[in-house]
Amino acid sequence: MKPKELREFSDDELKAQLKNLKEQLFHLRFQLATAQLENPMRIRQVKKDIARVHTILRERELKQGAR
C-alpha cells in the first residue's frame, strides 16, 4: 500500500489495518514454516506496510503533541 493511500485513513482505520496486516504476517510466516508459501517476497511487503502504518500513526501522534 502506498503512504499516500494510508494517510487518507482515519486513526481507527489505520489501527484496524495494522491489526489485519499483523494477522496476515502471522499466516505468511506459518505458511513459510510449513513450506506452503508461494511468494516469499510477500512477507517483506507486509512488513513494510506495517512499518508505514506505524510511521503514519507516529507522525499524527507527534503532530497532536505539537499543538
Task: Establish if 32 belongs to a structural domain.
Answer: yes
Task: Establish if 67 belongs to a structural domain.
Answer: no
User: Domain with 31 in it: what CATH number?
Assistant: 1.10.287.310
Write down the pTM of the prediction: 0.91
Task: Establish if 36 belongs to a structural domain.
Answer: yes
Q: Residue 22: which domain range?
A: 3-62
pLDDT in tens, 12-23: 999 999 999 999
- Kindly give the parts of the chain with pLDDT less than 50: none
Task: Establish if 23 belongs to a structural domain.
Answer: yes
Give CA–CA dist 18/53, Å, rounded: 7
Say how many domains are in the chain. Answer: 1
